[in-house]
Amino acid sequence: MKKTIPSEQKTSEQTSVLLRALPSMAAVLDALCLPLRDDPDTTALCASLLADVPRPLLRDGINDFLDRCRASIRQGRIKNPAELSLAVLLPQTIRHTAKICAPHFRRVLNATGVVLHTNLGRSLLAEKAAEAVCEAARHYANLEFDLETGERGSRYSHVEELICRLTGADAALVVNNNAAAVLLMLDTLCRDREVVISRGELVEIGGGFRIPTVMEKSGCILREVGTTNRTHLEDYVSAICERTAALLKVHTSNYRIVGFTKAVPRRDIAALAREKGLPLLEDLGSGILADPGMPHLSDEPTVGKVLKDGVDVVTFSGDKVLGGPQAGIIAGKAEYIDRIKKNPLNRALRIDKLTLAALESTLRLHLDPELARRHIPTLHMLCMDEQQLQGKADALAAVLKASLPEGGENIGITVGRGDSRAGGGTFPESDLPTRLVCVTSADFTPNALQKALLHVDPPVLARVENDALCFDPRTLRNEEFSLVAAALRSVLA
Ligand SMILES: *Cc1c(COP(=O)(O)O)cnc(C)c1O
């Protein structure tokens, strides 16, 4: 981090005087520890730096600031020793250091309107689920301990019954995520044998999840049938042979083929699988537990329906429409689930205790669909109607207007129509009508504002649409409006 001065660049007398006047690391650290300061903000920041930041990081932060001061002196931007007094420098040092030493993984405000934004962590947990995570984090728990018998228990016991009750499955287990669930299912049931799948379902979900690749990794042989747009039952029939291990259906989560298309109804494939004595497996992606009354998702089958239609094993994500933590759920017939539970690979893909705590709590809420809709943020956000969104957008616009900086007459703030998205590779066609708060400025382009908002604390992610910076209130809580306003104010100032 130290910058050396090229020897030929003769430091002038003035520069050396200034460099010597710059406070030392020791002096800055001493000053940080001094409790007496008349500026309460600086005092509070000092206290939190000293309490929360490991000393080596604190030193790095201060060093970085002092290096920048040295550079400014050499470039002639600092000319007066008075600018280098501790009284002047300390507040700047502290702010710079606090910024540099902040944890890397941090909260952001999602004003994009993408509810299941994979890059922003998909689902927010229900309050109860978040509490359960804290409880599990702070204390020992009966993770793999049966309190009835006093003997070793199973980590799935906490959620298996709930999943069965919510889906009608005989048995279930949970793993790290849905990608792991698919891998484990195929590795257990199909290794070294063929899996028949329609060409219309060989999807790539994003983030590197491609069905053909996962199949290859699990050691099974892909037997694709039909064409991209049309697959018939006959295609499945003629592909089945003595090497066949299973038939697989995959939810085409993030795209639709429209026009001259044909897919075989799940029930017909199930009947064929039964006739041939083969299991029918399905990667359902999102996995809706109960019809939550979302008109735009009404075509999506629930997990219960899929199992009822004759699928033997189904997998889905914990953090898509289920609205829980990252997890992969595998549910279905006991004979297959028992084999999957015994696969040694399971140990490498297992779910951790914090996730289990959040998952159990989320699944309990799902037992009452009304409760789920009210308390699970993902469902709540997906179900918001246009009237609620209009109210939220008006409220956000008012908060933004009230906090505009001086000279705010160059700034336009209006409420207009737009679309939110479910996101997370789920339900591509279901644009959700919303209201957007659109900001225009005579001094900044929308793209410049969008970028600047990433550098405030907490950062705000917004969209640019129709030459305006747009905030979608669907993915913001009302308590967050003032934070968005403060952020906008600081970038416009
Ligand atoms: C999202 C999705 C996956 C991946 O699930 P993760 O929980 O992100 O691992 C796999 N298959 C389908 C069809 C999906 O929609």
User: Using one digit for the tens of pLDDT, what is the confidence trace for 425-478?
Assistant: 666 556 799 999 999 999 999 999 999 999 999 999 999 999 999 999 999 999
| Model pLDDT, residue 242 | 97
For 332, how many CA atoms within 13 A lie in the half-sphere containing its CB? 27
Residue ID of nearest Cα to ligand 1 atom 14? 285
| Model pLDDT, residue 8 | 43
Whether the model clears a pTM of 0.85, i.e. scores above it, the answer is: yes
The tokens of 144 are what? 């793999």
- Going by pLDDT thresholds of 50, 70 and 90, the confidence category of residue 295 is low
pLDDT of 255 strictly over 80: no
| Model pLDDT, residue 124 | 98
Does the N-terminal peptide bond of residue 458 adopt cis geometry, omega within 30 degrees of 0? yes
Greater confidence, 239 or 1? 239
Residue 453: which of 483, 488, 426 has the closest Cα?
Answer: 488
Q: Which of 119, 215, 317, 321 to mutate to test the pocket of ligand 1 (most atoms within 8 A of CB)?
A: 317
pLDDT more than 90, % of the chain:
75
Distance in Å, CA 302 to ligand 1 centroid: 16
Residue ID of nearest Cα to ligand 1 atom 1? 285
How many CB atoms neighbour CB 57 within 10 A?
15
Helix (H, G, I), strand (E, B) or coil at 437: strand
Query: Is the Cβ–Cβ distance between 402 and 485 less than 8 Å?
Result: yes
Distance in Å, CA 192 to ligand 1 centroid: 23
Residue ID of nearest Cα to ligand 1 atom 13? 285
| Model pLDDT, residue 292 | 65
Mean pLDDT, rounded, for 131-158: 96
For 60, counting Cβ atoms within 10 Å of its Cβ (0-12 exposed, 13-18 middle, 19+ buried), the class is middle
Q: Which residues contact 399 (CB under 8 A, 6 or more apart)?
A: 481, 482, 484, 485
| Model pLDDT, residue 447 | 98
Q: Which atom belonging to ligand 1 lies closest to the Cα atom of 326?
A: 7
Model confidence over 169-200: pLDDT tens digits?
999 999 999 999 999 999 999 999 999 999 99
Q: Which atom belonging to ligand 1 lies closest to the Cα atom of 253?
A: 15
The amino acid at 142: N
Q: Which of 202, 248, 253 to mutate to test the pocket of ligand 1 (most atoms within 8 A of CB)?
A: 253
pLDDT of 139 strictly over 90: yes
| Model pLDDT, residue 203 | 79
- Going by pLDDT thresholds of 50, 70 and 90, the confidence category of residue 208 is confident
Helix (H, G, I), strand (E, B) or coil at 328: strand
Q: How far apart are CA 252 and CA 205, in angstroms?
A: 8
Please give the backbone phi and psi of residue 379, each rounded to the nearest 5 degrees, phi first.
-65, -40
Q: Which atom belonging to ligand 1 lies closest to the Cα atom of 254?
A: 15
Greater confidence, 372 or 10? 372
For the chain, the average pLDDT equals 91
Ligand 1 surroundings by CB, under 6 angstroms: 177-179, 205, 209, 250-251, 253, 283, 285-286, 317, 328, 425
Residue 118: which of 310, 319, 309 has the closest Cα?
Answer: 319
Q: How far apart are CA 352 and CA 174, in angstroms?
A: 10
Q: How far apart are CA 253 and CA 88, in angstroms?
A: 57
Q: Which of 209, 217, 252, 281 to mutate to test the pocket of ligand 1 (most atoms within 8 A of CB)?
A: 209
For 389, counting Cβ atoms within 10 Å of its Cβ (0-12 exposed, 13-18 middle, 19+ buried), the class is buried
Distance in Å, CA 363 to ligand 1 centroid: 19
CA distances from 3 to 8, 63, 68, 90, 173 (A): 15, 11, 10, 22, 56
Give first-to-last CA distance, the chain, whole Å. 32
> What are 152's strand-pairing partners?
145
Residue ID of nearest Cα to ligand 1 atom 7? 178
